[in-house]
Structure 1
Amino acid sequence: MCGRFTLTRDANAIARAFQATVPASFQNSARFNIAPTQNIVTVMQNGERHLDMLRWGLVPSWAKDLSIGSRMINARAETLAEKPSFKRLLGHKRCLIVADGFYEWKKEAKTKTPMYITLKDQDIFAFAGLWDAWKNPDGEIIRTCTIITTDANEFMNPIHNRMPAILTAEERDIWLDPTIHEAGPLLSLLKPYASDEMAAHPVSRQVNNPAYDSPELIATVQ
């Protein structure tokens, strides 16, 4: 699964990386411990490609209340085309979720060691995501999203048996293409990322506390 990640770059750097525009009202700050139910940076394409903020934790349009979102932070690639919550979104409501690292907990004896995973070149990357819009009882529209996960690659497997579906630049273009609605070509993108392009190191257990958000979290600990 993917339950915490980071995004420390500013909006202009993100926009350049994804060839996206930055809306005048868009604001973001460096984040070192992004947690479910928080607003996160995404790339959307409806007309033009642009940065946007969505709430992490999918709330389907038919949901009775917002609380379901905390249980739908991830979606398994293998069942996207089967589960009603995701099937209709796969064809029409896809997004990129922007990150520059993510955390996973490695089981070691009776403890779990938090690991910080990045690309070797420290570049910005994107998880494949789905989004939906939900109207609360007051009539407010809340847009939410989920991160798609897939099997772990050889590098990730000793840490965890799942990993977020990270897309290459070419795959991102396909994922955001509004003319593609068939499940086949989209599901084929959701595969384990190249092992030889990834790096990881152990970090402080303070990452377990979502209230703690500091550069110290990504520092290597022994």
Structure 2
Amino acid sequence: MCGRYATTRSEADLSLLFDATSVTEALGPSWNVAPTDPVPLVRMSQRHGGRVVDAARWGLLPPWADDPRAGARMINARAETVATSRAFAPSFERRRCLVPADGWFEWVRDGRLKQAFYMTPRDASVLAFAGIWTMWREQTLTCSVLTTAALGGLAEVHDRMPLILPRERWPEWLAGGGDPGALLQPLTPAELEAIEVRPVRPDVGNVRNNGPHLLTAAEPVAPAEVTLF
């Protein structure tokens, strides 16, 4: 799963990168986004006639959810079942979005030790996670990030990864409808090679920690046991 990530670009920068209009107040950068945090997303808006940068609570809340705390369990939607899931299918069909990110975190356990890794583009370009959104009780915008089976070297860190969409796939994803098989294609081997897997300090494991130091490369806690890339 993807349970922590970094998103540090301003709404103005995201507007330029995604050719969108910002319709939200500035959230500020976060190097340690956690479930239920407010996060930026890019979605289509009929009112504004195109793409908008908006803010949503991370953890999708279906209209029938009674308790907002349920969103903490719905931060991710599996690509394999998103088109048929009662909770996610309506949003997958009609309310898809892009979730901008700098990179994401996963952990490898070695006995009692856990090594944190940060996955990020080698060229520091923006990532666009495939996302879905919905409005809960007509007042709270919420979202989930789609995940897929990890491939290549990324699978040695975790068996799941965010579904990442290259720029040329953004229009089709945001349009709604379409063939699920084509929409949910994973990255190509060449695109996967462009992602660095970086060992980082364990500080990111505490949601109270935030700041660019969390992304700094660090010696792994168990170098004899943890695979580096």
Superposition TM-score, scaled by structure 2 size = 0.88
| Structure 1 residue 56: Cα displacement | 0.2
Aligned to 1:147: 145
Q: Which amino acid aligns with 1:177?
A: A
Q: Bigger shift: 164-173 or 81-90?
A: 81-90
1:218 paired to 2:220: no
| TM-aligned CA distance change 1:49 to 1:134, over 3 Å | same
Give, in whole Å, the separation in 2 of the partners of 1:170 and 1:195. 16
Aligned to 1:164: 162
| TM-aligned CA distance change 1:201 to 1:184, over 3 Å | closer
| Structure 1 residue 184: Cα displacement | 4.0
Q: Bigger shift: 93-102 or 11-20?
A: 11-20
1:206 paired to 2:206: no
Q: For residues 178-193 of structure 1, what are the structure 2 equivalents within 5 Å?
A: 178=176, 180-187=177-184, 189=185, 191-192=186-187
Aligned to 1:26: 25
Aligned to 1:98: 100
Structure 2: 5+ residue stretches without partners: 220-229
Aligned to 1:87: 89
Aligned to 1:173: 171
Superposition TM-score, scaled by structure 1 size = 0.91
| Count of paired positions | 214
Contact between 1:117 and 1:198, CA under 8 Å: does it hold in 2?
yes
| Structure 1 residue 134: Cα displacement | 1.2
Structure 1: 5+ residue stretches without partners: none
Contact between 2:27 and 2:38, CA under 8 Å: does it hold in 1?
no
Q: Secondary structure at the match of 1:157?
A: helix
Q: RMSD of the alignment, in Å? A: 1.5
Contact between 1:92 and 1:181, CA under 8 Å: does it hold in 2?
no
